[in-house]
Amino acid sequence: VRLSRRYPFCASHRLHSAELTEEQNQAIYGKCNNPYGHGHNYILEVAVSGAVDAVTGRVVDLEKLDAFVRREVIARYDHRNLNEDCEEYLDQVPTTEVVGVEIAKRLSKQWANAMPGESARLERIRIWETDRNIFEVRV
Amino acid sequence: VRLSRRYPFCASHRLHSAELTEEQNQAIYGKCNNPYGHGHNYILEVAVSGAVDAVTGRVVDLEKLDAFVRREVIARYDHRNLNEDCEEYLDQVPTTEVVGVEIAKRLSKQWANAMPGESARLERIRIWETDRNIFEVRV
Amino acid sequence: VRLSRRYPFCASHRLHSAELTEEQNQAIYGKCNNPYGHGHNYILEVAVSGAVDAVTGRVVDLEKLDAFVRREVIARYDHRNLNEDCEEYLDQVPTTEVVGVEIAKRLSKQWANAMPGESARLERIRIWETDRNIFEVRV
Amino acid sequence: VRLSRRYPFCASHRLHSAELTEEQNQAIYGKCNNPYGHGHNYILEVAVSGAVDAVTGRVVDLEKLDAFVRREVIARYDHRNLNEDCEEYLDQVPTTEVVGVEIAKRLSKQWANAMPGESARLERIRIWETDRNIFEVRV
Amino acid sequence: VRLSRRYPFCASHRLHSAELTEEQNQAIYGKCNNPYGHGHNYILEVAVSGAVDAVTGRVVDLEKLDAFVRREVIARYDHRNLNEDCEEYLDQVPTTEVVGVEIAKRLSKQWANAMPGESARLERIRIWETDRNIFEVRV
Amino acid sequence: VRLSRRYPFCASHRLHSAELTEEQNQAIYGKCNNPYGHGHNYILEVAVSGAVDAVTGRVVDLEKLDAFVRREVIARYDHRNLNEDCEEYLDQVPTTEVVGVEIAKRLSKQWANAMPGESARLERIRIWETDRNIFEVRV
């Protein structure tokens, strides 16, 4: 059984690469290159899969999962400027692709420690940047 | 081609295991353990896949599929209390994980009889418990 | 300016009037009369209106509003059985019309005390029972 | 007949008043006071009302309305930082209440010039800041 | 208390006025003037208001309302071509404004006969043509 | 990383096969067989997957993708009658299954030419015919 659980967060970002010229940045990122940034209501979906526990009927302890995702992602990203507030984007562009890869790496690396006693495994994450743009990273 | 078709139903449930103490039930299920239960607007998504029929342009007979899902799931769960009204939850906790497994088993077991002449196969079911909690069971 | 703020809650109810016969209850409430009840993912929308404060740019203190609505409605209804857990429905049927009237009365009566220093007034509440059924009560 | 037409835009903002101390800003705006800002997928809804034209069957010329709203609001706000990119927020806090009032004023002031030959009148605007927070300003 | 109830229907239409030249039709309706038409998943919302019945807790008999709206609107419009299948659009352009006015007139005229014993009154109808275009007609 | 991008379009269609009798058409397609057709607000989702570019942080050039999908699909289908306006449905029934297969074939065949310099590959397309009916074709 796979459980997908969604966590909204609001953040701003600016798409601009120090390795590109102004013209290239403008050509590649268009209005997303606006110097002062812009923002989104992101939705993060975390999918875990595993067997259903015969006693509890649960695939994962939801309280533990929520505490983990909130501490590692939501508390750090919600109501933040990704470029300025999050060290992982100091040297890479916070496109939603890159944000997805960072979240997947962070959750994946700490899964075993943060979710002791859980047999479920982290399977993938998805991020809705808008209703129209959805990114998925498999773990 | 895979067709996913959605069927809403409204039901109530209580998460409580007879094999656990009161304290354990409270610790594991939290407010979902409330003695009198609570409820949801569930959405069941049934996904079938197969080849597109060269004459009809269809992957499955939708009327037949609807009649099958409504008889086996919706008529039994909609506007019901899962714990009290459905015998399959007398001895197991109706978490949405367990409900998903039960629906998948029931549809899967009767697929061949209920859908004669159809080449499409049942692939997976998904249940939205809320906008934020989605469960998937592959068949 | 009018602010509408939404609060989801999950609850169960049974539509059954002690003043009606079994046949009348069945005729009027149909499957909503199921003895063991059923449930919904309700969404409560609270609308307040007032002038925008010249310094803060706010029409109401959102933290105060949230604390008020959570204490008076969400904490009492979320993950509850309205018929069994809420005394206001011991002697009246918890249709969503009646639930809406009760919420409006309760919030309205305590508004002045719970929201000191706020010039905004409570204007109306709305409840989504499902995507298709929406109830509105003006205060 | 009233027509409501929706226009999405993505922007960032920071809630911070120069007339308040750091402590007051923090107390009033909470995480919305984060120095580097955050952002949203806003939805602007513009409502106009009038008689249905007997020949065209239309209440307003949609192309003209779109051009007007896009020029006056969307082109100025979409993929922008409201605090830094829009002069109207240099000396007031871009809460969504204030943004709504500004949009209503701007559209209202230019309606007659921008919509020549149209008998419909601008009635109200609404902004969704998130799925849960909706602001309405009557014109 | 006001109840708003939603009814989806799928239909096609073409915007073209016999009183206008080809050029005018093209200028006014743009791609909606395509000779073979196009279509939408419309949502009709019917709002009724009245007092809550002291015994039933209901503002209106939902079964009666559904039967009325389905017979008068949904059965006639769902999976139809509005221009070709509905006589009311033989001599007027089926813009959603006009469709809304027609539905409001039809429901209003027959309300008293179709809803005997109901004290609730029909208040307004709304139609979603798409997620972005919403029309409202007060009765 | 997989990016899914959504494109809405409004179109009409009629389900009717020249290889079937009137009775068979009526039995198989029901109200979708209405002679004058009906329509939908379709949503096309195009999913592409590939590595994230180390400099741009992007999996694909969105502007290029949008131009390609708009030219090949949206410009041809939006505000059209699929049966009458699109030659690919002259000799096959435009069920959404068939439409999905056609879109997948068309995008797939031209991907290499239309998306020069892109390492991402087209993975699948999905079409929402309504909120309840979703079709997926893998490439």
pLDDT in tens, E36-56: 999 999 999 999 999 999 999
Percentage of residues of chain F with pLDDT beyond 70:
100
Contacts of A6 in chain B (CB under 8 A): 131-134
Check if the interface score ipTM surpasses 0.90. yes
Q: How buried is residue D119: exposed, middle or buried, by Cβ count under 10 Å (0-12/13-18/19+)?
A: exposed
Give the CB-side neighbour count of residue A74, counting CA atoms within 13 A: 16
Report the mean per-residue pLDDT for chain A: 97
Question: Do the beta carbons of residue E26 and residue E33 sit within 8 Å?
Answer: yes
Percentage of residues of chain C with pLDDT beyond 70:
100
In 3D space, the residue among B134, B108, B110 whose CA is nearest the CA of residue B122 turns out to be B108
pTM over 0.95: yes
Of D13, D32, D79, the CB nearest to A34: D79
The confidence score (pLDDT) of residue E15 equals: 98
pLDDT band, residue F56 (cuts 50/70/90) = very high
Which amino acid, D108? S
A134/F contact by beta carbon, under 8 A: yes
pLDDT band, residue A5 (cuts 50/70/90) = very high
Whether C63 is catalytic is no
pLDDT band, residue D5 (cuts 50/70/90) = very high
The helix/strand/coil state of E48 is: strand
Which amino acid, B70? R
Contact E36 F80 (CB under 8 A): yes
The confidence score (pLDDT) of residue C112 equals: 96
Which pLDDT tens digit goes with each residue over F6-52?
A: 999 999 999 999 999 999 999 999 999 999 999 999 999 999 999 99
Beta strands in chain C (DSSP E): 2-13, 38-49, 80-81, 121-128, 133-138
Question: Do the beta carbons of residue F66 and residue F107 sit within 8 Å?
Answer: no
The confidence score (pLDDT) of residue F107 equals: 98
| d(C-alpha C70, C-alpha C78), whole Å | 9
Which pLDDT tens digit goes with each residue over B58-94?
A: 999 999 999 999 999 999 999 999 999 999 999 999 9
Report the mean per-residue pLDDT for chain D: 97
Which pLDDT tens digit goes with each residue over D17-73?
A: 999 999 999 999 999 999 999 999 999 999 999 999 999 999 999 999 999 999 999
Percentage of residues of chain F with pLDDT beyond 90:
100
How large is the average pLDDT for residues E60-88? Answer: 97
Contact A81 D131 (CB under 8 A): no
Which pLDDT tens digit goes with each residue over F108-137?
A: 999 999 999 999 999 999 999 999 999 999
pLDDT band, residue C39 (cuts 50/70/90) = very high
The confidence score (pLDDT) of residue D111 equals: 97
Whether D129 is catalytic is yes
B101/A contact by beta carbon, under 8 A: yes
Contact F3 A97 (CB under 8 A): yes
How large is the average pLDDT for residues E56-79? Answer: 97
H/E stretch holding C85 reads helix C82-85
C31/E contact by beta carbon, under 8 A: no
Residues facing residue D127 across a β-bridge: D44, D135
In 3D space, the residue among A79, A106, A75 whose CA is nearest the CA of residue A10 turns out to be A79
Give the CB-side neighbour count of residue E123, counting CA atoms within 13 A: 15
Give the CB-side neighbour count of residue B47, counting CA atoms within 13 A: 16
Which amino acid, B115? M
Mutate to test the interface with D, among A15, A33, A41, A87 (most CBs of D within 10 A): A41
CB atoms within 10 A of CB E119: 10
In 3D space, the residue among E94, E90, E96 whose CA is nearest the CA of residue E136 turns out to be E96
Which amino acid, B18? A
Contact D92 C5 (CB under 8 A): no
Kindly identify which residue of chain C lies nearest to residue B32, measuring between CA atoms: C79
In 3D space, the residue among F11, F34, F16 whose CA is nearest the CA of residue F82 turns out to be F11
How large is the average pLDDT for residues D99-123? Answer: 97
H/E stretch holding E38 reads strand E38-49
Residues 49-88 of F with CB under 8 A from A: 52, 55-59, 61, 63
- The minimum CA-CA distance between B92 and chain F, rounded to whole Å, is 30
| d(C-alpha E124, C-alpha E111), whole Å | 12
Which pLDDT tens digit goes with each residue over A76-126?
A: 999 999 999 999 999 999 999 999 999 999 999 999 999 999 999 999 999
Q: Find the Cα–Cα–Cα–Cα dihedral F76, F81, F84, F85, rounded to 10°.
A: -20
Contact F131 B6 (CB under 8 A): yes
Whether B118 is catalytic is no
| d(C-alpha F38, C-alpha D56), whole Å | 22
Which pLDDT tens digit goes with each residue over A25-68?
A: 999 999 999 999 999 999 999 999 999 999 999 999 999 999 99
Task: State whether the Cα torsion C82-C86-C92-C95 is positive or negative.
Answer: negative
Of A92, A131, A137, the CB nearest to F57: A92
Per-residue b/e over B90-113, b at no fewer than 16 CB within 10 Å? Answer: eebbbbbbbbbbbbbeebeeebee
Question: Do the beta carbons of residue B27 and residue B83 sit within 8 Å?
Answer: no
| d(C-alpha B108, C-alpha B128), whole Å | 20
